[in-house]
Amino acid sequence: MVLAERFLFQGFQMLLVLALAPLLTGIVRKLKARLTRRRGASIFQPYRDLFRLMRKEAVIADNASWIFRSAPYLIFAATWVAAALTPTFRTGLMFSWSADLIVIVALLGSARFFLALAGMDVGTAFGGIGSSREMMIAAFAEPAMLLAVFTVALVAGSTELSNVAAFMRSDAVGLRVSLALAMFALIMVAIAENARIPVDNPATHLELTMVHEAMVLEYSGRHLAMIEFASFLKLLLYVSLIGAVFVPWGLAEDGAGAMRNALGVLLYLGKLIAAACLLALFETATAKMRVFRVPDYLGAALMLGFLGALLLFAGGRF
Amino acid sequence: MNAAALQLYCIVAFLALAALSVAAAFRPRASAGLYIANAVVAATAFAFSFAALFKGGDPALVHLPIGIPWLGAHFRIDALSSFFLSVINFGAATASLFAVGYGRREPEPSRILPFYPAFLAGMNLVLIADDAFTFLVSWEFMSLTSFALVIAHHHERENRRAAFVYLTMACFGTLSLLFVFGLLAGADGGYVFNDIRSRDLGAGLGGAVMLLALLGAGSKAGLAPVHVWLPLAHPAAPSHVSALMSGVMTKVAVYAFIRIAFDLVGISDWSIAAPVMLIGGATAVLGILHALMERDIKRLLAYSTIENIGVIFAMLGFAMAFQANGMAVQAALAFVAALFHVANHSIFKGLLFFGAGSMLNATGVRDIEQMGGLIHRMRKLAPLFLVGCVAISALPPLNGFASEWLAFQAVLQSPDLPQLGLKILSPMVGALLALAAALAAACFVRLYGVAFLGRPRSDHAIEAHDPDGWSLGVIGLMAALCVIFGIVPGIVLDALAPVATLMLGTPLAVQSGNDWLSVIPVNATQSSYNPLLLFFFIALSSFLAASVSRLTASHDYRRSPAWACGFEPAGAQTQYSGASFSQPIRNTLGRIAFRAAETVDMPPPGDQQPARFTLRLRDLVWDAIYGRIASVINAISDKLNALQFLTIRRYLSLVFATLVLMLLGLAAWS
């Protein structure tokens, strides 16, 4: 019975992240439009975009290989699995133990690996420029993220996200400097990894400044839909991750009643909206930085993460 | 018959093959037969050692009355040797099978064939040697036979230099090991390993031995800063030998370090762990940064070997730190992570070198900037090579990530260490390992993207074709192992348990009993990883996504010229090259590591001259250490050169003076 319930919740979460991911992006876009005094498209526009892309024919470059055609599905799958294993509205999902925080970071790394390969497959300069920059950003972002993960894992005594979230909700946490540092590092990494301003501009169409968009330039139709969907999912994943670790209130425990779970879902929705507001505000208020200043930015994240980890490794109580 | 004797018979078989090859190598078409024979012997040796690893029990001993009269030659196989023997003979068997097809194109087989089995015999001998004399002789035999293989293609100037640097560094490494065993044996000369084990060295001498062992074994393994020969020598040999040197011979060096540090000396002092961790982490980052700048595919792979060796040594450092503080479970975790990475690296590095050899055969060039678009021409090799690239980039769910994940779990155990120095060092080394992993992903995206994807970058690449069936079969086998080790790492970890028990006294917890074949290194609340489920999930969800899009989405697709923002796709030279791919990293980390400097020489408007771009990278390690040493030696030999032109009278007086001095010295001594 408990097993069946857990399976059910796991399945529900898989569908929930799929259902909510485009909405999150839609809200961010709408808010950004309002903040710049435009009306903006409806918050449901991303769904419509996805449906339209699915219906369109796919145009594939002459030189594209099987990597180009299979990468979107792999990227989507890896991101979806990672998002489905991150606690959103409750802890103790059926399979949350199959992948810990480090694995989730690495799964996103796998998705990025294939995206970068797909960018180079057609053999245009734009694809290459995107892949090259993406891997440079990843080279700085991944260690920063792992150090933040170390900090969190050491405080919670586990790398298992469900256990981390459960610990963070207990009274044992208290206020810790190291956690604050890790949170900043994680947020900075999240901004970079999701190709948001100031690292990359999701709405740019100026070739020389693009990173993510340059890699997917050759994609169209259903393939583009998969990649877009994966990037929506990735944003949702980072929001759930930061939410589960640093704002874990409202997560339903394993074995909680139906009402408690419903409340968890509602609160999760609230967290998403709050995150969307903050992201939109931040993106509107900052300017995009030059590509070669990104290492400085991520270097700061790396140092914050390192400082957090160091405090814990050396002191233990901070 | 005991395991050591069986292994010795295999070694004798290798040596016999070497002798046979001298006679047979001149006959055309002998090479395939000889390589098959090598593969059979290596596979037999692998089967014996693998069985010995599983059977466990007491170490098998053999004593032969050869060598120094009062000492003889001692051989012994315990769990540690049998694990490394399995790794090495598996690599040898696959390399020999690969060479069946690959060796046909060898222009001068008689330069390779006799040394190849001798090299395999040398590596096997090192692993079963049980006294200092046998160990050093085997070590030197291994070095010399591999030197002969490096210089096989001696017509190219580059290879001669590589072989010279290799020989020099090999001598240096052996010299360090000579000191190690001299110190270990002590004044009364107990050269048998059992006597050495029973001696108590004391902290100071033990530390000195460890540092010398790190230098000696590290120079063979490719630890910075004694790695300089490796990227020169490994690519110079034919590809199947490169695979052996990179994937396997470096592991013999890892074995030597483990044998000396963990077994002969024993871990009692934490202070030696710190340099091992730090050098390991720094080597990993430096190695992969070099690889990112490299355009020669074999040298790139050799640099990536340096990275992996760094990871292995960093993990051994963690194991030493834990063990010195009596944290046996954590030590076992780090140690097993190191050993697992040893096995994994030998598999995917073999795969990649075989792939590189096939690409070299197919295109005739080693420069990745002249490849491109191979995915359309080497259709069968492309997916297999991709598996190797994903595995070495430490991405789930393949095997490289499994060992990397264990490594991070070990790093996470380190706040419990009592020493402040180690506590500060641990997250630093953890960050270095994470940086190395991320850079490795960039490096292999670059390799695969430039060599296999895009359009052909030169006429060489247009002619490319798939390799022969032997090569493809071996590469396929290794790709399959990358997947299997990746998704069920538990079975490998359990097979390593006797090694950890032997060296540290405690194995890692048994993994095969875990639900759903998860890996749970310490306890389930702390961390667990289930690559099998993960693999299943990814397969399932990509299948779901693909079928949803098949059912609901439009099926139409159209081929058209690349879009590229509306620019007409110009010649293949406008693609992103390897050099441009690594430019962002070169401009950031490369500025620090290589003092990378770019200058653009733009002629004024109206000038007909072309614009020029020059890039300068400096190998700081070479400049700071080797360049200086070389210039000092050159200066001294210039000065001493005058001694060549003396008269006989002066030579005689010099001889006389030397004699007097030595006698005086002797008199003063006694």
What are the tens digits of pLDDT across the range A199-211?
A: 888 777 666 667 8
Query: Are B429 and A306 a contacting pair, CB within 8 Å?
Result: no
Mutate which: A10, A98, A298, A312, vs B, most B CBs within 10 A: A98
Residues of A in contact with B518 (CB under 8 A): 97-98
Q: Pick the closest to residue B369 from B442, B459, B296 (CA basis).
A: B296
Which residue stretches of chain A have pLDDT < 50? none
Please indicate whether residue B529 or residue B572 has the higher confidence score (pLDDT): B529
Mean pLDDT along residues B318-322:
95
Facing residues of B131 across strands?
B192
Alpha-carbon distance of A219 to A222, in angstroms, equals 9
Q: What is the mean pLDDT of residues B36-57?
A: 92
Residue B407's pLDDT is: 95
**How would you write B473-502 as a 3-class SS string?**
HHHHHHHHHHHHHHHCHHHHHHHCHHHHHH
- Chain B, 475 to 534: residues with Cβ < 8 Å from chain A are 516, 518, 524-530, 533-534
Amino acid B185 reads A
- Rounded CA-CA distance B120/B138 in Å is 11
pLDDT tens, position by position, B344-401: 999 999 999 999 999 999 999 999 999 999 999 999 999 999 999 999 999 988 999 9
Return the axis-axis angle of helices B203-221 and B273-293, rounded to nearest 10°: 10
- Cα–Cα distance, B537 to A82 (Å, whole number): 10
pLDDT at A205: 66
For the CA atoms of A27, A31, A37, A38, the dihedral, rounded to the nearest 10 degrees, stands at -10
Residues 545-574 of B with CB under 8 A from A: 545-546, 549, 552-554, 556-565, 567, 569, 572, 574
B632: its two tokens: 């000092």
Mean pLDDT over B294-321 rounds to 96
- Select the residue of B541, B552, B569 nearest A124 (Cβ to Cβ): B569
- Per DSSP bridges, beta strands A58-61 and B612-616 are unpaired
pLDDT at B99 over 90: yes
Across the interface, whether the CB atoms of B581 and A57 are under 8 A apart is answered no
The Cα-based distances of B13 to B26, B32, B359 in angstroms read 20, 17, 32
Q: Which amino acid is at A258?
A: A
Could you tell me how many residues make up chain A?
318
> Residue B188's CB: how many other CB atoms inside 10 A?
7
Cβ atoms A142, A301 nearer than 8 A: no
B448 with A314: Cβ contact below 8 A: no
Query: What are the C-alpha distances in Å from B430 to residues A147, B306, B412, B413, B445?
Result: 8, 17, 9, 11, 23
Residues 6+ apart with CB under 8 A from B389: B352, B444, B445, B447, B448
Q: What is the pLDDT of residue A317?
A: 63
pLDDT on residue A318: 65
Residue A10 CA to residue B278 CA, distance in Å, equals 42
For strands B597-601 and B612-616, give the pairing: antiparallel
Residue B190: predicted pLDDT: 83
Q: Which candidate from B541, B561, B565 shows the least CB-CB separation from A207?
A: B565
Q: Does the beta-carbon distance from B525 to A163 stay under 8 Å?
A: yes
* B99 φ, ψ (degrees, to nearest 5): -70, -20
Region label for B557, one of left (φ > 0), alpha (ψ between -120 and 50) or beta (otherwise): beta
Residue of A nearest to B406 (CA): A102
* pLDDT given at position A1: 62
DSSP string, B544-604: HHHHHHHHHS---EEEES--GGG-----GGGS--HHHHTHHHHHHHHHHHH--EEEEEPPP
Q: What is the DSSP string of B408-468?
A: HHHHHTGGG-S-HHHHHHHHHHHHHHHHHHHHHHHHHHHHHHHHTSSS-SSHHHHT-----
* 3 state SS of B633: helix
The DSSP element (H or E) to which B615 belongs, if any, is: strand B612-616
The whole-model pTM stands at 0.95
Six token digits for residue B520? 């749970």
Nearest C-alpha of chain B: how many angstroms from A261? 23
Residue A159: strand, helix, or coil? coil
B405 touches chain A (CB under 8 A): yes
On chain B, the residues whose CB falls within 8 A of the CB of A107 are 396, 534
For a pLDDT cut of 90, what percent of chain B falls above it? 68
Identify whether the C-beta of residue B160 lies closer than 8 Å to the C-beta of residue B176: no
The answer to whether A106 contacts B528, with C-beta atoms less than 8 Å apart, is: no
Per residue in B557-589, pLDDT tens?
889 888 887 877 678 888 899 999 999 999 999
Query: Distance (Å, rounded) from C-alpha B99 to C-alpha B105?
Result: 10
In this predicted model, what pLDDT tens digit does every residue of A67-77 receive, in sequence order? 999 999 999 99
* The pLDDT value given to residue A190: 95
Q: How many helices (H) and strands (E) does chain A have?
A: 11, 1
The residue-averaged pLDDT of B270-285 equals 94
**Per-residue confidence (pLDDT) for residue A290, from 0 to 100:** 85
| A302 vs B contacts (CB less than 8 Å) | 431
Report CA-CA distances (Å) from A130 to A74, A125, A185, B19, B347.
19, 9, 24, 55, 31
| Residue in A110, A116, A123 nearest the CB of B575 | A123
